[in-house]
Amino acid sequence: MPALTLLPMQAIEAVRGLLHSVQRIVITTHQRPDGDALGSSLAIYHFLTSLGHRCVVISPTPFPEYLSWLPACEQVLVEPEQPETAGRLVDEATLFFCMDFNQLYRNGDLGLRIARSAAPKVLIDHHLNPEDVFSFSFTDATASSTCEMVYRFIDALGERQRIDHNVATCLYAGLLTDTDRFRIPTTTPAVHRMAADLLERGVDHTVVYSRLYENFSRRRMNLFRFSLEHRMLLPEHLPVGIIALEPEDMLRFQVQPGDTEGLVNYPLLITDIVVSVLVTPNGTGSRLSMRSKGNFSVEKICREHFGGGGHFNAAGGNSLLPVRQTVEQLVAIFAGLNLAQYQP
């Protein structure tokens, strides 16, 4: 059984009280949702629906095609596609569940509207430094995933019997993606016990794995091949790998949401690489995704230099500079650090 000491029981009792009466619940997550974001949102959707509540999941941006098989994914409302409906549902909501983000700005324009609502806001998350705007916060930055936090939340409510096949499948998908297939250091014995429990509840782990990772189109495979052959930089004397895609690359390969998922991990396959960065165009600036091995914090780099954050070994941020200048800035930042001490 995962420990529940980090879930404040007074808050659990307060939320339990809210759930005693039927609520109009809006569930939402961060922009460009990944497997943990959408998995945790849909898991809590199925759970709360089973309690008799009127629920809707609203995504602030489109989600990747490779997640479209998740149970009830077809019912997710994408805010930019139906802004009036999304706005009305937010205004009518009596309760919010905010999943896998710690700052309302990460929810885009939707977050601004939620901030104006007087309805209680429940945060379930595992990122550092949550914003103090939520009515109830169930967070643990040492947790492997928000899906782990949802599992612990349901357990703390005494409702584990409601983890049916749909809930379990969504939780397992998020757990698998945010642990990078049970690789990262936050994959504790409790995580494996959770995974075992989900398998006992009927999750087909081979199907989930296949749908998440064995789903490349030829176009996407060509993007990866091109990126590794022509867009990967390995600066001399630095244990750093940088993949930088230019705007013309995005057009050439018709890059869709989720197409670059996992690309940032490839430089880390090199023995002496400690830090890997994916840089992609974002308007006139750039978006950064960082990963690291061992005890090097990419969260600190993203927070201090790129207005972002995330986790110790996985974080992201943004640059006002175009891709090429952002790469130059990255090399200068890493050259000023003593990365030798972090060699794996």
Section 76-102 average pLDDT = 96
Indicate if 201 and 82 belong to the same structural domain: yes
Q: pLDDT tens digit string along 254-312?
A: 999 889 999 999 999 999 999 999 999 999 999 999 999 988 999 999 999 999 888 88
Helix (H) or strand (E) holding 288: strand 285-292
Q: Does residue 3 have a pLDDT over 70?
A: no
Indicate the residue among 213, 232, 267 that finishes a domain. Answer: 213
Co-location of 151 and 16 in the same domain:
yes
Together in a domain, 317 and 332: yes
Kindly tell me if the per-residue pLDDT of 8 is higher than 80: no
Confidence label for 341 from pLDDT (cuts 50, 70 and 90): confident
| Statement to judge: residues 67 and 52 lie in one domain | yes
In this predicted structure, the answer to whether residue 322 has a pLDDT above a threshold of 80 is yes
In tens, the pLDDT along 234-254 reads: 998 899 999 999 999 999 999
One domain for residues 240 and 331: yes
The torsion angle over the Cα atoms of residues 291, 297, 299 and 303, rounded to 10 degrees, is: -130
Rg (CA), the chain: 20
Domain end among 213, 234, 264: 213
Dist. CA 135–CA 23, nearest whole Å: 16
Note whether residue 294 is domain-resident: yes
Average pLDDT over residues 98-122: 91
Question: Is residue 26 one of the residues assigned to a domain?
Answer: yes
CATH number (domain holding residue 209):
3.90.1640.10
Number of folded domains in the chain? 2
Q: Does pLDDT of 344 surpass 80? A: no
- Here the CATH number for the domain that contains residue 337 is 3.10.310.30
**Measured between alpha carbons, how far is 81 from 62 in angstroms, rounded to an integer?**
9
- What pLDDT score does 1 carry? 32
Predicted pLDDT of residue 4: 34
Can you tell me whether residue 330 is helix, strand or coil?
A: helix
Mean pLDDT for the stretch of residues 81-89? 95
Judge if 80 and 208 occupy the same domain. Answer: yes
- Three-state DSSP class for residue 102: coil
**Average pLDDT along the chain:** 93
Q: pLDDT-derived band of residue 128, with 50, 70 and 90 as boundaries? A: confident
pLDDT tens digits along 199-213: 999 999 999 999 999
As a whole-number percent, the residues of the chain with pLDDT over 70 amount to 97
CA atoms within 13 A on the CB side of 38: 29
Split at pLDDT 50, 70, 90, the class of 155 is: very high
Residue 72 is predicted with a pLDDT of: 97
Residue 138's domain spans which residues? 9-213
